[in-house]
Structure 1
Amino acid sequence: MTQFVLVPGAWLGAWAWDEVVSELREAGHGVHPLTLSGLAEKRDVQAGQQTHVRDIVGEVERLDLRDVVLVGHSYSGIPVGQAAEQIGDRLTRLVLVDAMVPADGESVASAWWSGQAAFEAELAANGGFWVPWAVEEFDGQDLSEEQIARLLSRATPQQAATVTEPAVLERSLGALPATYVKCLLDGDEPSGAVAKLLAESEGRWKLVEMNTGHWPMLSQPHELASVLLGAAVS
């Protein structure tokens, strides 16, 4: 039986995976959605990016999980990628859903498209938090008005250290078995960092495309569950 560990992206808690969880469990697998420290029901916990890595590794070890498919969405690709390296032979496959990928010594802020200075200025302007997007930023992402309202009503501003602390990796993620899920309404090509890993992985990484926006666990949960089930047997 595969054990799926599902880690949500920026601002979200384990609740974001609810519809995917039910489908994976109906297929007979163990499923463990995880809220990272400082978010949702854990919002009062102090957290940095390395806290999030420990959250993930700790959950796998606490439950003594084997045959793990470790799934990270968006921001959580950064801590999930590091955790995948640390859990060793417990890992069956890493799945990154429209996610950022970690690089040793780099943070989310240092790799941000508008530059580290602009990102850190945004954090400072918001009291040291990375705040959820405005409602109009979700246009064109295959989400209904109800889904957007639900997402924003449950979103938690994210502590600055989660995006300014650097990643720590011993080797390239291309050495791990992985599936990258590219959501085409959020850009029709993987980022340069992802494209490099796909090219260098010698077939260990697979690219799967979904015709939806950046939050497929909300917009297309059935289709995403099918992708995850397929990754488990890749």
Structure 2
Amino acid sequence: MTAFVLVPGPWTGDWIWRQVTTRLRESGAQVFPVTLTELPDQPDGPDDLDLQTQIAALLRLIDQVPSPKVVLVGHGHGMHPVLGAAERRPERIARIVHLDAGLPQDGDSVLDLVPDPAVRDLLLRRATATGDGRRIPPPPAEEWPLWGSLAGVPEEALDRLVRLATPQPLGTLTQPLRLSGVAAELPATGILCTANGASIAMVETVVAMGDPRFQVLTEPRVRFLELATGHWPMLSTPDELATALLRAAAGEGHRITARAGEQPAPARQFLLDVPECRRERVGRVDLHLPDAAGPVGRVGRAYPAVVFVHGGPVPRDAPSTPRDSQTFLGYARYAASLGAIGVTVDHRLHGLGDFEQSAEDIAEAVELVRADPRVDEERVALWFFSGGGLLSADWLAAPPAWLRCVAASYPVLAPLPNWGLAESRFRPAASIGGASASRLPVVLTRVELENAQIAATVEEFLTAATICCADVEVVDVPLAHHGFETIDHTEQARHAVRQAFRSVLGHLRG
């Protein structure tokens, strides 16, 4: 008989699993939903709860389960106590299920993983406002989307969520999780909620990019399942969630594989055969120069510049940086071969909370480039890629006169629901009105085989652009994937890159 231990996220309790518990028990499983926001046997009262208290309570429950092993399920930030307990009772864990949850690492607190600084500050202010500073009141109804998409949740279920939510002890969100690596060896299943911005296809894309943090997801012990709903499947699709949990317990699901000997996408060859050119490095900025461009200080021709902005997040300790990848070397060299200075920047987008820092890095890089005497400071274009597309928001909202064009390739143009950036200013789909007012041209390269969640942000952007009559040219790439330049070496893909360059350089020279 399978035994499930169901651990909810902040502000919620065992009640949130009610329908799922019923379905699982009808299937013959044992089910133990838990509440970790209030523990009656805590001597100092629930206000003094921290993560270690939650882990201890979860261990007591696991020790009382009659089955020899349990399937330990964590929803969202409920993964912190789940992983902490799994570390201490690995012999009792049959499988860990990450229900629309991330991969917290040793030293991460829940608040550390909230990307938007404004949201973190809001939580801390609310804790202070309680008087004792030790509890965070549950969000009002309009703020629950900050914690995950509510897609599919019926109105009555949402009302119940708001009504039954209880204050969250601050220590459970601020105390770091301590992991030794034991839990990382246990069988695991990720149940991804696609309406919240996660999917198997997106995980495969991330793994293919070669980020070493995610290679663990290719191990045989790891499986993935999807649910076509938002972040709260226990409320929106309880039957489907119960089925997914039973499948997870049986070891079913999709396995992500890395082909033996296959290079990660950034190391593969660029789809165009472009000549090497002189490259100068200044801090985080590389300038790829046309053959005729002389050294700094020489009187001569000034060239337009194209600044290429990579996506991410990119790990701090990555063995190579984006500006040394074949994709960005290829783009910058191609720009130089066409008579423009190609600029690449290693901005510091290491996590979803780093967009402010990255925006500052890009602004500094642009000023450095415009100050170079070989650059025509009045003819600059910015070209954004993938998750770096969010960084286009500031430039679209208030484009300077010297910015002749913004380009974007397979971009993310609105924060995905599970990124925790709903309140941030990095929303190009909401900024396009500024570009319309100045008639700033936008060249958008769209791939046919895009991840559905990213494609939805592009459609949102194009709808907003149509409403405000923005000057947007769409370059479609048939049968191409996200990051197609090192994946899809087709004539159609090569034509799309050439077409996008013709448009961008045309705006620079026009």
Q: Of 135, 157, 171, which residue of structure 2 is paired with 1:129?
A: 135
Provide Cα deviations, 1:19-49, integer angstroms capped at 9, x if missing partner. 1111111111111111114279x9x523111
- What does residue 19 of structure 1 align with? 19
> Contact 1:70–1:95 (CA<8 Å) still a contact in 2?
yes
Give the secondary structure class of the aligned counterpart of 2:77: helix
> Contact 2:71–2:93 (CA<8 Å) still a contact in 1?
yes
CA RMSD across the alignment: 2.6
Considering Cα pairs closer than 8 Å and 6+ residues apart, tell me whether 1 or 2 has the greater RCO: 1
Supply the distance in 2 between the matched residues of 1:94 and 1:4 (Cα, whole angstroms): 10
Q: Of 84, 87, 107, which residue of structure 2 is paired with 1:85?
A: 87
Supply the distance in 2 between the matched residues of 1:197 and 1:228 (Cα, whole angstroms): 26
> Contact 2:11–2:37 (CA<8 Å) still a contact in 1?
no
- What does residue 214 of structure 1 align with? 231
- What does residue 215 of structure 2 align with? 199
Supply the distance in 2 between the matched residues of 1:99 and 1:130 (Cα, whole angstroms): 21
Say if 2:162 is the partner of 1:152. Answer: yes
- How far off its partner does 1:218 sit? 0.7
Give the secondary structure class of the aligned counterpart of 1:110: helix
Give the secondary structure class of the aligned counterpart of 1:180: strand
Supply the distance in 2 between the matched residues of 1:105 and 1:223 (Cα, whole angstroms): 34
- How far off its partner does 1:204 sit? 1.7
- What does residue 173 of structure 2 align with? 163
Shift >4 Å, 4+ stretches: 194-198
Give the secondary structure class of the aligned counterpart of 1:209: strand
Task: Tell me how many residue pairs correspond in the alignment.
Answer: 230
Say if 2:42 is the partner of 1:63. Answer: no
- What does residue 229 of structure 1 align with? 246
Judge which range, 114-123 or 173-182, deviates more: 114-123
Provide Cα deviations, 1:103-156, integer angstroms capped at 9, x if missing partner. 212211122202496354454345443332332245652112211111110000
* Shift in alpha-carbon separation, 1:187–1:123, aligned structure 2, 3 A: farther
TM-score normalised by length of structure 2: 0.42
> Contact 2:137–2:167 (CA<8 Å) still a contact in 1?
yes
> Contact 2:2–2:30 (CA<8 Å) still a contact in 1?
yes
Supply the distance in 1 between the matched residues of 2:195 and 2:216 (Cα, whole angstroms): 26
* Residue identity matched to 1:79: P
* Residue identity matched to 1:159: P
- How far off its partner does 1:209 sit? 1.6
- How far off its partner does 1:3 sit? 0.8
Supply the distance in 1 between the matched residues of 2:97 and 2:104 (Cα, whole angstroms): 13
- How far off its partner does 1:175 sit? 1.9
Provide Cα deviations, 1:43-67, integer angstroms capped at 9, x if missing partner. x523111111111111011334422
* Shift in alpha-carbon separation, 1:198–1:216, aligned structure 2, 3 A: farther
Judge which range, 50-59 or 110-119, deviates more: 110-119
Supply the distance in 1 between the matched residues of 2:187 and 2:177 (Cα, whole angstroms): 19
Give the secondary structure class of the aligned counterpart of 2:10: coil
* Residue identity matched to 1:110: D
* Shift in alpha-carbon separation, 1:75–1:203, aligned structure 2, 3 A: same
> Contact 1:49–1:165 (CA<8 Å) still a contact in 2?
yes
* Residue identity matched to 2:198: D
TM-score normalised by length of structure 1: 0.87
- What does residue 260 of structure 2 align with? none
Contiguous gaps of at least 5 residues in structure 2: 252-510
Supply the distance in 2 between the matched residues of 1:88 and 1:217 (Cα, whole angstroms): 26
Give the secondary structure class of the aligned counterpart of 1:6: strand
Give the secondary structure class of the aligned counterpart of 2:112: coil
* Shift in alpha-carbon separation, 1:21–1:68, aligned structure 2, 3 A: same
Supply the distance in 2 between the matched residues of 1:16 and 1:218 (Cα, whole angstroms): 7
> Contact 1:97–1:180 (CA<8 Å) still a contact in 2?
yes
* Residue identity matched to 2:220: G
| % same residue | 38
> Contact 1:53–1:80 (CA<8 Å) still a contact in 2?
yes
Provide Cα deviations, 1:162-196, integer angstroms capped at 9, x if missing partner. 000010111164322111111122223579xx976
Judge which range, 29-38 or 9-18, deviates more: 29-38
- What does residue 52 of structure 1 align with? 54
- How far off its partner does 1:199 sit? 2.6
Supply the distance in 2 between the matched residues of 1:28 and 1:157 (Cα, whole angstroms): 34
* Residue identity matched to 2:173: V
Say if 2:197 is the partner of 1:181. Answer: no
> Contact 1:6–1:31 (CA<8 Å) still a contact in 2?
yes
- What does residue 410 of structure 2 align with? none
> Contact 2:191–2:227 (CA<8 Å) still a contact in 1?
yes
